[in-house]
Chains A and B, each alone.
Chain A
Amino acid sequence: MAHHRSGSRQSADALARGLGWFSIALGAVELFGGRSVARWLGMERHERLIRAYGVREIVTGVGILASKDPTPWIWGRIGGDALDLATLGKELNESDADRDRVGIAMGAVAGVTVLDVMCANALTGQSMQERARRWDYSDRSGLPRPADQMRGAASDFQTPRDMRIPDALRPYKQPQLQGRPQPSM
């Protein structure tokens, strides 16, 4: 049976696809233009790291586009964003880095991170709603009568001595003292 997806799920899927293509494009730039990117940022000594991040972006992008459920891949992108921000943030303290350009790059990554988080939340929420519609076990009580009517049905059970809680931990009950007025509680 065809499974029809809701409008909000379709928008979340579309955003995920967009992020997938973005990931591949950015990855290609980092992988094949690693030297130029590194030079632009003043991070020449990190050229290999930038290329490695490019591979990561391409793998994540392909994962998003190729999988039935892109949710874990989008969460993976968020992890990658955190790694990018940490790497760039460290460069802000380095004398040979172009701090203005590193700042611009960090702003761009932060912007994409916001989109990633929005997308991941939307996908997670939607998939949970779909699950709830698909597998509703609200008729599986295992009890012969409504749950409220079964409360205490096993009250004939005696807790074994070794599993009783200490008396001092039982609910407090006002002692009944004969002939004395009881304080109101």
Chain B
Amino acid sequence: MKALRWYGKGDIRCESVPDPEIEDSRDAIIKVTSCAICGSDLHLYDHFMPGMKKGDIMGHESMGEVVEVGSAAKSSLKVGDRVVIPFTIICGECDQCKRGNFSVCERTNRNGELAATAFGHPTAGLFGYTHLTGGYPGGQAEYLRVPYADKTHIKVPNGIPDEQLLFLSDIFPTGWQAAVQCDIEPTDTVAIWGAGPVGQMAIRSALLLGAKQVIAIDRLPERLSMAEAGGAITINFQEESVIERLNELTGGKGPEKCIDAVGLEAHVSMTHPDTILDRAKQAVMLETDRPHVLREMMYVCRPAGVLSVAGVYGGLLDKIPFGAVMNKGLTIRTGQTHVNRWTDDLLRRIEEGQIDPSFVITHTVGLDDGPEMYRTFRDKKDGCIKVVLKP
């Protein structure tokens, strides 16, 4: 089969690899009908996340049709089922899964010791996202082996296009959880840093959950126009001061709820000298991540407010103003998304027409064009916000 494989910084290749096979009785194989490039894939593409090996298959947003089922997964899946595959691999049986904390499943990360070395404890296995999270081949391929498939799937009905359902795998529940973690009140202003795919989903989630005011912060006009379409007031951080404008929009009090939909690769800009310093430190391995957004959120958030961090961070961050967090009594909520916790509800909302997540797709190409689209998406060229691949 064809698959997109990682070979190093900026080097993704579409190559032929052996088809996946059932390795465990809980496995299933799906024929991928649609998959997507995620913003967090760019952290691998730019080689800011450790733990990749040459030849690893990329991708953690996939859906398709079940073509083979292991004996222990037959109780919940059968050949021909249409499924979206969540990016978190879950056993459904451990203490964390039982609590709904699927992204920290205790069993599915087969390299748990490696993750524990980095993070103190293992987190769930993820598709196509480094050997720290299990080194599982990803879904930017014609076929995908799904471990723990009896639990790691979302059954979806026929009759709804892939484009409306695919993002149940990651960005829609991720944006939703980012907003849910804010526990939005009708009086709240929710400020969202980053109007990429997750930011766009968070904007609409915050609106649907009833925020009085949603504010999106980015610099690219095409992303800001999409954010406005979703009901957000926009701030272009290259043209105006984010902190001044947020205070202006909230009567000087700051937003009650702040969402980070940027993560470890904050834009490096002459207008934000801390980002230049972070980039320099990254280059000489004195820091792994560029946490400009965290700094800004901590500073501008209203006292007793909530910071919800959906953006991916990987390691060690410098100059975090924790004094502001402590003295203002801020609450920080974060974590990879507990995808399956939200997907029944979100699927219902899609079916009822409350939201159509396909609005975010700007490019649809075949797998062969995947390497080129990684570059286009990374460089933010051609108005690219979300790429869907059709194997």
**A interface residue numbers (CB < 8 A to B):** 75, 78, 124, 128-129, 131-132, 134-144, 147-148, 150-155, 157, 159-160, 162-166, 168-171
A171 to B331, CA, bound (A): 15
| Size category of the binding interface on chain B | 35 or more
Q: How many A-B residue pairs have CB under 8 A?
A: 124
CB-defined A-B contacts under 8 Å, sample of 6:
A128-B238, A134-B222, A135-B225, A137-B223, A150-B208, A169-B306
Q: Which residues of A contact B356 (CB under 8 A)?
A: 142-144
Q: Does B357 contact A (CB under 8 A)?
A: yes
With beta carbons under 8 angstroms apart, the residue of A75, A78, A124, A157 that contacts B209 is: A157
Q: Which of A131, A154, A159 contacts B208 (CB 8 A)?
A: A154
- Taking the complex as formed, is B105 at the interface, i.e. its CB lies under 8 A from any CB of chain A? no
Q: Closest approach, in angstroms, between the C-beta of B99 and any C-beta of chain A? A: 8
Assembly CA distance A131 to B186 (angstroms): 35
Interface string of B255-283 (1 = CB under 8 A from A): 00000000000000010000000000000
Q: Which residues on B sit within 8 Å (CB–CB) of A164?
A: 183
- Expressed in whole angstroms, the Cα–Cα distance for A124 and B221 within the complex equals 12
The answer to whether the Cβ of B385 comes within 8 Å of any Cβ in the partner chain is yes
Q: Which of B8-16, B18-26, B106-114, B228-236 has 4 or more CB atoms under 8 Å from chain A?
A: B228-236
Assuming A135-B221, A147-B207, A152-B209, is B229 touching A166 (CB within 8 A)? no
Known: A138-B225, A141-B230. A154 touches B187 (CB 8 A): no
Q: How far is the CA of A147 from the CA of B211 in the complex (A)?
A: 12
Query: Which residues of chain B from 352 to 373 have any CB-CB distance to chain A below 8 Å in the complex?
Result: 353-360, 362
Q: Given A75-B270, A142-B358, does the pair A137, B183 have CB atoms closer than 8 Å?
A: no
Query: Which residues in A have their C-beta under 8 angstroms from that of B180?
Result: 157, 159-160, 163
Residue of B nearest to A139 (CB): B229
**Most chain A CB inside 10 Å of its own CB: which residue of B222, B304, B305:** B222
In the complex, are the beta carbons of B383 and A135 less than 8 A apart?
Answer: yes
Whether B290 is near chain A, meaning CB under 8 Å from some CB there, is no
Measured between alpha carbons, how far is A164 from B211 in the docked complex, in Å? 15
Assess the B100–A141 pair: CB atoms within 8 A: no
* Chain B 175-218 per-residue mask, 1 if CB under 8 angstroms from chain A, else 0: 00000111101110000000000001000110111110000000
Q: Given A132-B221, A138-B225, A153 and B208 touching (CB < 8 A)?
A: yes
The reply to whether A170 and B185 form a contact with Cβ atoms under 8 Å apart is: yes
Distance from A147 Cβ to chain B, minimum over Cβ atoms (Å): 3
Give min CB distance, A185 to chain B, whole Å: 14
Closest chain A residue to B385, Cβ basis: A137
